[in-house]
């Protein structure tokens, strides 16, 4: 068994937005182990900019070791969890006193930072060498990618095909309408209520047929579809009854798995009633780090210790549209253009997020 010098063992499963922040925050307070199949934490909302400007990813793809200087990193998938241990696909058995589950959404990304940076360079080459580009999916990822391409490469012909009746179905219709107007003013063609048969897609083809029988000419395509939650691995574990019908983990106000005293869940994987966003995931991480510190100091059952209660976020969202514009939905108001762009679109919160992780905001050096 790993030595833990009498410190409580906190195991965090998932090194994304939420899990990485908890690991960073607790590393000098507990014996921390982070389990993640990747060697790095990625600021996901910077990934579309990195496709048009690959050097942008130098600051937004961060090796776990850069911010987690005093913890264990296990580069593997968690495949099972018991009352006391986490089991990984490589056969590790990791004991815990406290467990934090933060496996968010399943994504097929490379294991190393170098490979991930190369992936952005390849995407960038694809964009540069294409005259016409098809984006499948008109959610935030597809819209932001279209914005990045059309601002940096205004001569490219971009088409978005989206299954739903409007873009950005996670926000209100006003935000969707303003986004559509902005994209159309930059000659992006948006085809709503249509889909592309993914089984028929190949990278060699140049002609794509939509479900309505329309034909789209494109030199390359990008899939920007919602990803499934990464909770299937919990379905045969002691936590199987703690998942709701959508595969989300049921949590209480302190972000503990309902009915558990020493297992927390945070980020997109939870059933907290709010829009699933990085900002919310960071707030979950802050609350749980504080609650874990209180529990570690106060003892496991911790009937006396003061824990924070998480308040679900209001339905706010900012979708960037290239480097200067954005659409923002804030309570009672939806605006688009330069003003919301000032909030997000320049640096995409990368400097701020790096600072939160204890890193230099301006360079990729730790």
Which of residues 170, 279, 335, 358 is near ligand FAD by CB under 6 A?
279
Token digits of residue 106: 């399943």
Q: Residue 278 CB, nearest distance to ligand FAD (Å)?
A: 3
> Can you point out the beta strands (E) in the chain?
9-13, 31-36, 40-42, 61-63, 72-75, 78-81, 85-88, 93-95, 98-101, 132-136, 157-162, 189-192, 207-209, 215-217, 220-223, 263-265, 317-321, 325-330, 333-337
Closer of 100 and 218 to ligand FAD (Cβ): 100
Closer of 269 and 287 to ligand FAD (Cβ): 269
| Core vs surface per residue 57-81: b (16+ CB within 10 A) or e | bebbbbbbebbbeebbbbbbbbbbb
- DSSP count for the chain of H helices, then E strands: 10, 19
Residues 281-340 that bind ligand FAD (CB under 6 A): 281
Under 8 Å between Cβ of 289 and 300:
no
**Under rule CB under 6 A, residue 14 binds ligand FAD:** yes
Of the candidates 159, 148, 140, the one whose C-alpha atom is nearest the C-alpha of residue 124 is 148
**Contact letters (x/-) for ligand FAD, 201-240, by CB under 6 A?**
-----------------------------x--x-------
How many residues form the binding site for ligand FAD (CB under 6 A)?
A: 32
Which of residues 12, 23, 26, 35 is near ligand FAD by CB under 6 A?
35
Among the candidate windows 146-154, 162-170, 196-204, 271-279, which touches ligand FAD by CB under 6 A? 271-279
Q: Residue 348 CB, nearest distance to ligand FAD (Å)?
A: 7
Q: Residue 43 CB, nearest distance to ligand FAD (Å)?
A: 8
**Under rule CB under 6 A, residue 103 binds ligand FAD:** yes
Under 8 Å between Cβ of 337 and 178:
no
What is the binding site for ligand FAD (CB under 6 A)? 13-19, 35-38, 44-45, 47, 77-78, 102-105, 140-141, 230, 233, 267-269, 276-279, 281
């Amino acid at each position: 068994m790993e030595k833990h010098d009498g410190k409580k063992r906190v195991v965090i499963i998932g090194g994304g937005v939420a899990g990485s922040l908890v690991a960073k925050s607790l590393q000098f307070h507990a014996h921390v182990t982070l389990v993640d199949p990747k060697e790095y934490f990625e600021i996901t909302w910077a990934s579309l900019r990195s496709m048009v400007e690959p050097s942008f990813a130098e600051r937004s793809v961060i090796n776990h070791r850069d911010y987690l200087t005093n913890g264990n990193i296990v580069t593997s998938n968690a495949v099972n969890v018991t009352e006391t241990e986490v089991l990984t696909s490589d056969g590790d058995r990791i004991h815990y006193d406290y467990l934090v589950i933060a496996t968010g959404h399943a994504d097929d990304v490379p294991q190393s930072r170098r490979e991930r940076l190369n992936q952005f360079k390849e995407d960038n080459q694809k964009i540069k060498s294409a005259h016409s580009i098809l984006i499948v999916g008109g959610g935030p990822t597809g819209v932001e990618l279209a914005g990045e391409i059309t601002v940096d490469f205004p001569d490219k012909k971009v088409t978005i095909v989206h299954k739903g009746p409007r873009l950005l179905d996670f926000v209100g219709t006003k935000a969707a309408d303003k986004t559509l107007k902005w994209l159309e003013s930059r000659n992006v063609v948006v085809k709503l209520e249509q889909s592309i048969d993914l089984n028929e897609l190949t990278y060699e083809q140049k002609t794509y047929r939509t479900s309505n029988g329309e034909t789209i000419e494109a030199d390359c395509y990008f899939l920007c579809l919602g990803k499934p939650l990464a909770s299937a691995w919990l379905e045969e574990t002691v936590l199987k009854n703690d998942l709701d019908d959508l595969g989300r983990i049921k949590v209480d106000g302190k972000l503990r798995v309902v009915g558990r005293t020493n297992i927390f869940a945070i980020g997109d994987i939870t059933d907290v009633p709010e829009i699933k966003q990085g900002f919310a995931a960071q707030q979950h991480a802050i609350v749980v780090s504080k609650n874990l510190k209180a529990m570690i100091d106060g003892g496991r059952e911790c009937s006396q210790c003061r824990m924070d209660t998480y308040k679900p976020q209001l339905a706010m969202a900012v979708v960037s549209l290239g480097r200067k514009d954005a659409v923002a939905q804030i309570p009672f108001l939806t605006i688009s253009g330069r003003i919301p762009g000032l909030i997000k679109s320049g640096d995409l919160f990368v400097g701020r997020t790096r600072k939160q992780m204890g890193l230099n905001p301006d360079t990729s050096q730790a």
